[in-house]
Chain A
Amino acid sequence: MTADPFLSLRNIYKTFGSFTALSQINLDIARGEFICFLGPSGCGKTTLLRIIAGLETQSSGTLTQGGRDISRLPPAERDYGIVFQSYALFPNLTVAANVAYGLVNRKTPRAQVEARVSELVKLVRLPGSEGKYPSQLSGGQQQRIALARALATSPGLLLLDEPLSALDALERVRLRQEIRALQQKLGITTIMVTHDQEEALSIADRIVVMNHGVIEQVGTALEVYREPATPFVADFVGKVNVLPGRLEGEHLHVGSFRLPARERVDTARDVKIYLRPEDVLARPAVSGAGFAADDPHMFEAVIEKIEFLGSFCHVHVRSDAFHPHRLIVYLSLNFLSEQSLAVDSPLRLRLMPERMRVF
Chain B
Amino acid sequence: MEASLSLAAAPVRQKTHWTERIAHVVLAGIALVLLCFLAMPLAAILVKSVQGKDGELVWFAHFIDYARTPSLFSSLWNSIWVSGLVTLITVPLAFIFAYALHRSCMPFKKLLRGITLIPLLAPSLLSAISLIYWFGNQGVLKSLLQALGFDQIYGAVGIVFAECFATFPHALMILVTALTLADARLYEAADALGTSKLRKFFTVTLPGAKYGIISAALVTFTLVITDFGIPKVIGGSFNVLATDVFKLVIGQQDFAKGAVVAILLLCPAVLTFAVDHFVSRKQTAMLTARAVPFRPRPSRGFDALMTGYCVFIAIMMLAMLGMAIFASFATFWPYNLTPSLKHYIYGLIDNEVAEGFVNSLKMAFGTATFGTAMVFLGAYLLAKTKGASWVRTPVRLLAMLPMAVPGLVLGLGYIFFFNAPENPLNGLYHTITLLTLCTIVHFYTTGHLTASTALKSLDDEFEAVGASLKVPWYKTFFRVTLPICSPALVDIARYFFVNAMTTISAVVFLYSPETKVASIAILNMDEAGEISPAAAMAVLIAATCAVGTLLFSALGWWVDRRAQAWRTSSR
Contact = CB atoms under 8 A, between A and B. Distances in A.
A143 to B, nearest CB: 13
Interface string A58-88: 1111000000000111111110111010101
A7 to B, nearest CB: 15
A308 to B, nearest CB: 32
Contacts of A134: 566
A232 to B, nearest CB: 21
B2 A133 contact: no
A78 B468 CA distance: 7
B277 interface: no
Interface stretch (A99-107, A188-196, A319-327): A99-107
Nearest to A80: B468
A54 B565 CA distance: 34
Contacts of A55: 464, 467
Nearest to B483: A92
A144 B459 CA distance: 18
A10 to B, nearest CB: 9
A58 B465 CA distance: 20
Interface in A211-250: none
B471 A102 contact: yes
B224 interface: no
Interface string B481-516: 001100000000000000000000000000000000
Contacts of A81: 468-469
B465 A88 contact: yes
A263 to B, nearest CB: 30
Contacts of A76: 17, 19, 467-468, 470, 472
Nearest to A157: B468
Nearest to B570: A135
Contacts of B15: 72-74, 77
Contact of B467 (A71, A74, A90): A74
B7 A74 contact: no
A24 interface: yes
Contacts of B480: 90, 92-93
A303 interface: no
B565 A133 contact: yes
Range for the number of chain B residues in contact with chain A: 35 or more
Interface string B59-94: 000000000000000000000000000000000000
A296 interface: no
Given A11-B2, A13-B7, A101-B469, A91 B567 contact: yes
Interface in B519-571: 563, 565-567, 569-570
Given A86-B459, A92-B480, A92-B484, A53 B6 contact: no
B197 interface: no
A75 B468 contact: yes
A57 interface: yes
Interface string B1-17: 01100110101111111
B384 to A, nearest CB: 13
Contacts of B16: 74
Contact of B563 (A92, A101, A150): A92
Contact of A61 (B6, B465, B470, B472): B6
B14 A54 contact: yes
Nearest to A75: B467
Contacts of B56: none
Given A75-B467, A133-B566, A88 B17 contact: no
Contacts of A11: 2-3, 6
Contacts of A106: 470
Nearest to B16: A74
B475 interface: yes
B236 to A, nearest CB: 57
Nearest to B458: A91
29 contacts: A11-B2, A11-B3, A13-B7, A24-B3, A57-B11, A57-B14, A59-B12, A60-B6, A60-B7, A61-B12, A73-B15, A74-B15, A75-B468, A84-B461, A88-B462, A91-B484, A91-B566, A91-B567, A92-B563, A92-B566, A102-B469, A102-B470, A105-B469, A105-B471, A105-B475, A106-B470, A133-B566, A135-B569, A155-B468
Which 9 pairs of residues, A with B, have the shortest CB-CB distance?
A: A102-B469, A135-B570, A75-B467, A88-B461, A133-B566, A60-B6, A74-B17, A59-B11, A57-B14
Given A74-B20, A81-B469, A92-B483, 4 more contacts: A60-B7, A72-B15, A76-B470, A101-B466
